[in-house]
Structure 1
Amino acid sequence: MHAVLIGGTGTISTSVTHELLQQGWQVTLINRGTDTPELRELVELGARSLVCDVNDEPEMRELLTSHRELQHVDCVAEFVAFTHEQVERDIRLFLGKTSQYIFVSSASAYAKPARSYIISEGTTLANPYWQYSQQKIECERVLMEAYRKLSFPVTIVRPSHTYDRRSLPLGVHGAQGSWQVAQRMLEDKPVIVHGDGSSLWTLTHARDFAVGFVGLMANTHAIGEAVQIMGNETLTWDQIYSCIGAALGVTPQLVHVSSQMLAAAGPQYDFTGSLTGDKAVSVVFDTTKLQRLVPQFATRTRFDQGVRECVDYILNHPEYQQADPEFDRWSDELIAQLDVFVNHMSAFNAQHHN
């Protein structure tokens, strides 16, 4: 069986490539050829890497034409398409050349505000808060129309919050990723948690996700279907941050700030989309469809276990310890302003009580 992965070295796709190789698939990665430890490792394990800018359609068409083994493949998995123009390009490139095309969408596409905290594939797609989600919804629409009108063999996958060893999964962080929050914990500085920390969230280790994803590949029952892939462990955000602190060997100081205030105080971080349009909403996912299509799928990595792997890996790989002084200052300033407000209100209440 031959799979072509467009991307192949991201948070999700690296683990998918590992799983495919372990199951004996022939794997071709198409990406821009950026030399990374992940790409080198996958090539050493047997994946083939072809360098091409997939957004350059003539170049991509020439690549597919010049390699006989790419004339028809069992599965194409698209990890880096975010707009309807990109999936329309893929339809032109792969129609008649693959038995299955898997598009990675997002569980953030589900309706906000949620009508029910239990989310299934039948939940309406509508997110007015986040352009990223709106674009994924439009991609899905285009692909399902191609399935109905052209018999384009699409499968849509909707992940929720998936993580691997290279980054700590958080709700509130800066442009450089999660390390600065971990650094604040290590320095015994308070860290910001959106809301009151009690909203529910699902985190899935990429290793577990990959089992579900590969189980859908070359699966005739998955053609024309949308399937959400995530684990069955649901945590509060306070629990998530506490697990991260425990992995670091500290007890984190958690400061709770409403998502609305975070959006107003930090528009440069797009908290309106990432929080109001996603992480601030309590959800529990119904994975009945996934279990039916991929019976072997299971949550094998609890978050407290997975996050220890993350911390150990990041601490031993300085390249993933990206400092973010701007976010650090922003956090200090916001927390200081909250302290002033709390002290003011305490004095006000004391004065009026007396």
Structure 2
Amino acid sequence: MRALFIGGTGTISSAITKQLLEQGCELYLLNRGTRNEALPVGAKILQADINDESKVASLIADLTFDVVADFIAFEPAQLERDYRLFKDKTKQFLFISSASAYQTPLSDYRITEGTPLSNPYWAYSRNKIACEEYLIKQYREHGFPITIVRPSHTYDERSIPLGVHGSKGSWQVAKRMLENKPVIIHGDGTSLWTMTHNTDFAKGFIGLMGNLHAIGESVHITSDETLTWNQIYEAIAAALGVKLQAVHVSSEFLDACSKEDFRGGLLGDKANSVVFDNAKLKRLVPEFVATTRFDQGIKQTVANLLAHPELQKEDHEFDQWCDQVIQVLDTAIQQMNAARI
């Protein structure tokens, strides 16, 4: 199989590229070359910015592909560019959308590919929906061989997956745990969530590549494991070897008092209970099974982070904000208790 990935070094795509190369795939990566240390050995690099359409067209002039996958498109204009570039160059075009495009709030906590797409809270999700609509139009009207893939919360060894963190990533929350400081969990921590290790996601994705039954279809790829946020944070604390000091805070309150985009990422995504039905994926890829349980996967992530200080990006502003939120809540409790006397 000859495949071209636009991107190829991110959380999701890195595991796919690794497994494909191990399987002997002829893999091309269209990449700007700004992270050469992350480029996998064995891949053929087409160095260019995908937004430089004329340069990309010249690089692929003599090439055709079994599969082209775009991991970094977020707006319809980017898919319009992809269509112009690859409409006569590939047997299958895979677009990585997002499970956050599903109806929010949900009318049924069980999510299938038939769940409506609607998210009034997050422009990111609405843009992904618009991208999907554009591609479906090209499939229906011009036979462009699309497959839409919707990941949910997928993680790897480079970052701890969390519900609430700052703009510099999740390490600061782990640092608070290691320092025995309280950490914020949104809501009461009992809403349901699904974490998927990127190696498991890769197995499902590769099973869709070159799969004629996947043409024209939309498919989500997630683990079948359902966790509460309390369980997620407890597993992280256990992997760090500490006792969790949790403070539960309303998601609406967090959104109202933060500079971060908690409206989209929290109210429009992680604050909602989600349980994914992967029956469609398993029909298309009968061998698919997610084998990395979260408590096992997070131990690998934590071990890697502790072994690589360069991944430990501190976020003092977020740390101070957490302290302020917790202090405000403590003060409010004291004032309410005093008022009852």
Fold equivalence (TM over 0.5): yes
- Does structure 1 residue 92 correspond to structure 2 residue 88? no
The separation in 1 between residues aligned to 2:172 and 2:232, in whole angstroms, is 16
User: Within the alignment, does 1:308 sit opposite 2:299 as a pair?
Assistant: yes
How far, CA to CA, are the matches of 2:148 and 2:4 in structure 1?
Answer: 16
Alignment of 1:266-277 (within 5 A): 266=258, 268-277=259-268
* TM-score computed with the length of structure 1 as normaliser: 0.95
How many angstroms does 1:171 deviate by? 0.3
What is the percent sequence identity of the aligned residues?
58
State how far apart, in whole Å, the 2-side matches of 1:334 and 1:51 are. 45
Aligned to 1:333: 324
Distance apart, 1:50 and its partner CA: 1.8
The CA distance in 1 between the partners of 2:100 and 2:318, in whole Å, is 24
What is aligned with 2:34? 34
- Please show how residues 1-354 of structure 1 align to structure 2 within 5 Å: 1-39=1-39, 42-43=40-41, 46-65=42-61, 68=62, 70=63, 72-266=64-258, 268-349=259-340, 351=341
Where structure 2 has 5 or more consecutive residues not aligned to the other structure, the ranges are none
Give the C-alpha shift of residue 344 in structure 1.
1.0
SS of 1:269's partner is coil
1:141 Cα deviation (Å)?
0.2
Runs of 4+ in structure 1 off by over 4 angstroms are none
Partner Cα distance (2:52, 2:202) in 1: 28
C-alpha displacement of 1:37:
3.4
Q: Residue deviations 1:106-156, cap 9 Å, x none?
A: 000001110000000000000000000000000000000000011000000
Residue by residue over 1:261-296, the C-alpha shift from the partner in whole angstroms, topping out at 9 and shown as x without a partner, is 000010x21101011100010011110000000111
Q: 1-side partners of 2:36 and 2:84: how far apart? A: 30
Structure 1 counterpart of 2:50, one-letter code = V
Letter in 1 for 2:164: V
Secondary structure at the aligned position of 1:185 is classed as helix
- Taking the aligned partners of 2:327 and 2:286, their CA distance within structure 1 comes to 50
Q: Distance in 1 between matches of 2:45 and 2:325?
A: 45
Aligned-pair distance for 1:19?
1.4
TM-score (normalizing by structure 2): 0.99
**Letter of the aligned partner of 2:31 in structure 1?**
N
Number of paired residues? 341
In the alignment, the residues of structure 2 paired with residue 186 and residue 90 of structure 1 have an alpha-carbon distance, to the nearest angstrom, of: 45
Amino acid at match of 1:102: L
Separation in 1 of the partners of 2:36 and 2:322?
Answer: 31
| Residue deviations 1:204-227 (CA, integer Å, cap 9, x gap) | 000000000000000000000000
Letter in 1 for 2:121: Y
1:63 to partner: Cα distance: 1.6
Work out the CA distance in 1 between the residues paired with 2:20 and 2:287.
15
Q: Give the deviation of 1:35 after TM superposition.
A: 2.8
**1:36 to partner: Cα distance:** 4.5
Please give the per-residue CA displacement for 1:220-266, whole angstroms capped at 9, x wherever unaligned: 00000000000100100000000000000001111101110000010
Cα separation, 1, equivalents of 2:108 and 2:19: 34
**Structure 1 residues 309 and 27 mapped into 2: Cα distance closer, same or farther (>3 Å)?**
same
